[in-house]
Structure 1
Amino acid sequence: MESCFLDIWQASLNKSGEELCGDQVKVYKTDSKTIAVVSDGLGSGVKANILATLTSQIILTMLRADVPLKEVMSTVLGTLPVCQERKIAYATFTALEIDHATNAFKIINFDNPPTFFFRGGKRLDLNRTPETILGKQITTAEGVLERGDFLGIISDGILHAGAGNIWNFGWGWDNVAGYMEPLVARYPTRAKPVVQGVVTKTRSLYGSLIGDDATFVGLCARKRHSLIVFTGPPLDPEQDEAVAQRVLDFGGRRVVCGGTTGSIMERALGEVIEVDLSTLRETVPPIGYLSEIDLLTEGIITMYRALEVMREANGDEGRLPRDKNGAVMLARELLQADSVFFLVGQKINEFYQNPLLPRNLSLRKNLVLETAQFLKERNKEVRIEFC
């Protein structure tokens, strides 16, 4: 079974008057599985934030280690401090675990609203199984994801929106599901617009006073969008042809960064790079064109500026500058990709070496590692190979 890429997006609203959100989201991805935890701390503000942070981190850590659910619950309930006002010590949570090999998922819910599940743009009911652990009611649900499926995890602040208005006690789970259905149908491969649509509606229903922390985490299963970024010549020039062929054999989009790297691809294709001077900017060198290559840029300078641009946009493709230059185009390729494979040559360009750094510490290597970390923090799948 071909694994799905899991497109994940999250958004939260803080209760009015609070600087910290009482909800916390933790997402963890490996080659074998994805874990997402949404925790809603008791109350709001600093105390709720601490409770939710502790809860989500404990659950995430223990699920990563495949600890049995009963032990997870025992640890959570035994670790959280007691609220002096209400004499209870817990935070609600929903934990989602997905096996990449089989696309099987399991949802564990403790006092959070039920998880939404859509297939083909239509809401489906999950078979939920109640279980009592340490006197607490837990609900579990299982299934297998298919491409186009959507899972939505919320805190109860989403449901409370509109209380006191036409929605009486809030717009409620069924109304939220009904609002989501056309969004999921319209955006079958993207989680972001569905999450943003629901959170925007929630904010509108609360009006000028958001009465509770509200969080939505959306997960869409779809085909993986893959990208290879080839930068830097290999240590052994004898490997140039083989490495170039690996780039050409790659099944997704292909980006080449660097003058020498571009020359390697130029020779492999038997072509001459055509430079587009219209893309030249004061701080960004121009791009070039080769057949079979989706984007060809200069190396270190462009890559460094692309990382700056992504940071300025907070990783949101929609906030990237509209200017057509190599850095923005590279940033867009990276943010649009689900899976990024960096193929990094280790031959050192003396021009880019910092004399204060060890000779074997390449600026290109550090820049790739920094970019990879930025992408991983935004739930991208990243692999790096040095040659």
Structure 2
Amino acid sequence: MVTVTPPKTESQKADNFFDICNLSLNKKGEELCGDKVKFIKTERKSTIVLSDGLGSGVKANILATLTSEILITMLNADVPLEQVMETVIGTLPICQVRKIAYATFTIIQIDHFSNQFKIINFDNPPVFYFKKGRIIKLEERVDRILERKVKVAEGTLERGDFLGAISDGVLYAGLGDTMNFGWGWDNIAKYMENLFVHQVPTARSIIQSVLNETRSLYRGHIGDDASLVGVYVRRRNPLMVFTGPPLDMTKDEVYAERLLSFPGRKAICGGTTGNIVANYMGETVEMDISTMRKELPPIGKLSEIDLVTEGILTISKATEILRKCDCDIDRLPFDRNGAILLAREILEADSIFFLIGQQINEFYQNPLLPKNISIRRNLVEELVQLLRDHQKEVDLEYC
């Protein structure tokens, strides 16, 4: 069962959104990546961990996964940083041949209320920090924990800032080619600066561009696992989904106005819900027959609404699609039907607010369920849990 949380007021929810994305390239011939990225977002903070296991393949993947899991779990539980570091560094064995740890890591922690960040780097390449699209060299201090050097940097983020952590496989792109020592940190920084000049960035667009160039420099033969995780500070992109007529029919106009006054993208899921909003607007929902599919009704059109779909069937199918693509927008099917369009709206949104009417449509109601248990409600709660499992910010309100 999904826990229902009341909607946050603007004062409770910071205007800045911390857009986090990560992508990796596997070493040629390896099914598993030897790098591992994990991040957790809570109301108060974001914690990001990039771990690079020694070598490649299964062994490196296991080492990196264990390291990132230990770090993210302890840090999220607010275990003191020094104790976390001692636990991880004390756990990692040292390669007797190369005299280096079996896994390196970078930690980025961000306080959502103060926008302050801390970076802890253990033998990974330095983090990239961009302010207004220009690279800024972070001042680092060196701490010693269990006789190992750990670099620490701190600062405060503003809108438009970007932090990026890489594994050394990105640095080595082009090694043995025209650049004897690989792509190199400075060249990567210049490349990323150029991205800020020529495009309106998101975390995904920056990371995709860098890794596409990394693949190109390797000429398709990836010589080492290459990963980049970044956080870009930008304005929040919210979405409201209104589905199901309110239990109290006298409140129809109240909730229609709630949707229309919402400061973000707006979607309606449900024929009756669409008609409620259309009547309030003095319009009629126009159907787009070209979007009709064998298993899905067509979408509708209203002047101030970004997406209008049927309810139960579309929500169910959209949830199935999101599960199959693992909530990765790049893996969405290419088709213009209501379920895919709804899934895209959800994945493109930074935060989603579901306004769920509790009036039950007898046509869809399972006769084996009590009258007060709605199929619509169960479907939405299943969708919400899936999204939260993928670090999406989701709120619900029943009406």
TM-score w.r.t. length of structure 1: 0.91
Secondary structure of the 2:32 match is coil
For each residue in 1:78-118, what CA deviation from the matched residue of structure 2 results, as whole angstroms up to 9, or x when unmatched? Answer: 33466687686542111111111122211111111110011
Is the aligned partner of 1:251 residue 2:263? yes
Paired residues of 1:119 and 1:149 also in contact (CA < 8 A): yes
For 2:213 and 2:285, the matched residues in 1 are separated by 49
Match of 2:41 in 1: 29
Match of 2:190 in 1: 178
- In structure 2, which of residues 291, 297, 309 is the aligned counterpart of residue 297 of structure 1? 309
Match of 2:123 in 1: 111
Is the aligned partner of 1:137 residue 2:129? no
- In structure 1, which of residues 318, 322, 326 is the aligned counterpart of residue 338 of structure 2? 326
- Give the residue type in structure 1 aligned to 2:177: N
Secondary structure of the 1:349 match is coil
Match of 2:6 in 1: none
- Give the residue type in structure 2 aligned to 1:163: L
Identity %: 59
For 2:185 and 2:220, the matched residues in 1 are separated by 22
User: In the superposition, relative to structure 1, how do residues 277 and 141 fare at CA in structure 2: closer, same or farther (>3 Å)?
Assistant: same
Q: Tell me how far 1:23 sits from its aligned partner.
A: 0.7
Q: Tell me how far 1:342 sits from its aligned partner.
A: 0.9
Match of 1:41 in 2: 53
Paired residues of 1:12 and 1:214 also in contact (CA < 8 A): yes
Gaps spanning 5+ residues in structure 2: where?
1-10
User: In the superposition, relative to structure 1, how do residues 299 and 172 fare at CA in structure 2: closer, same or farther (>3 Å)?
Assistant: same
Q: Tell me how far 1:261 sits from its aligned partner.
A: 1.4
Is the aligned partner of 1:164 residue 2:176? yes
Paired residues of 1:231 and 1:344 also in contact (CA < 8 A): yes
Gaps spanning 5+ residues in structure 1: where?
none
For each residue in 1:15-61, what CA deviation from the matched residue of structure 2 results, as whole angstroms up to 9, or x when unmatched? Answer: 22322111111011112211111011122222221211111111111
Secondary structure of the 1:102 match is coil
Is the aligned partner of 1:58 residue 2:70? yes
Match of 2:397 in 1: 385
For 1:284 and 1:84, the matched residues in 2 are separated by 61
For 1:174 and 1:21, the matched residues in 2 are separated by 25
- Give the residue type in structure 1 aligned to 2:293: R
For each residue in 1:125-179, what CA deviation from the matched residue of structure 2 results, as whole angstroms up to 9, or x when unmatched? Answer: 1121211122111111112212211111101111122222221122211111122
For each residue in 1:219-255, what CA deviation from the matched residue of structure 2 results, as whole angstroms up to 9, or x when unmatched? Answer: 2111111110011123333433332222122111111
For 1:378 and 1:40, the matched residues in 2 are separated by 22
Is the aligned partner of 1:14 residue 2:26? yes
How does 1:83-102 map onto structure 2 within 5 Å?
A: 90-102=102-114
- In structure 1, which of residues 356, 362, 365 is the aligned counterpart of residue 374 of structure 2? 362
Q: Tell me how far 1:65 sits from its aligned partner.
A: 2.1
- In structure 2, which of residues 77, 82, 87 is the aligned counterpart of residue 75 of structure 1? 87
Q: Tell me how far 1:3 sits from its aligned partner.
A: 3.7
Q: Tell me how far 1:313 sits from its aligned partner.
A: 4.9
Paired residues of 1:93 and 1:109 also in contact (CA < 8 A): yes
Q: Tell me how far 1:348 sits from its aligned partner.
A: 2.7
Paired residues of 2:241 and 2:269 also in contact (CA < 8 A): yes
- Give the residue type in structure 2 aligned to 1:348: I
How does 1:188-227 map onto structure 2 within 5 Å?
A: 188-227=200-239
User: In the superposition, relative to structure 1, how do residues 205 and 276 fare at CA in structure 2: closer, same or farther (>3 Å)?
Assistant: closer
Match of 2:16 in 1: 4
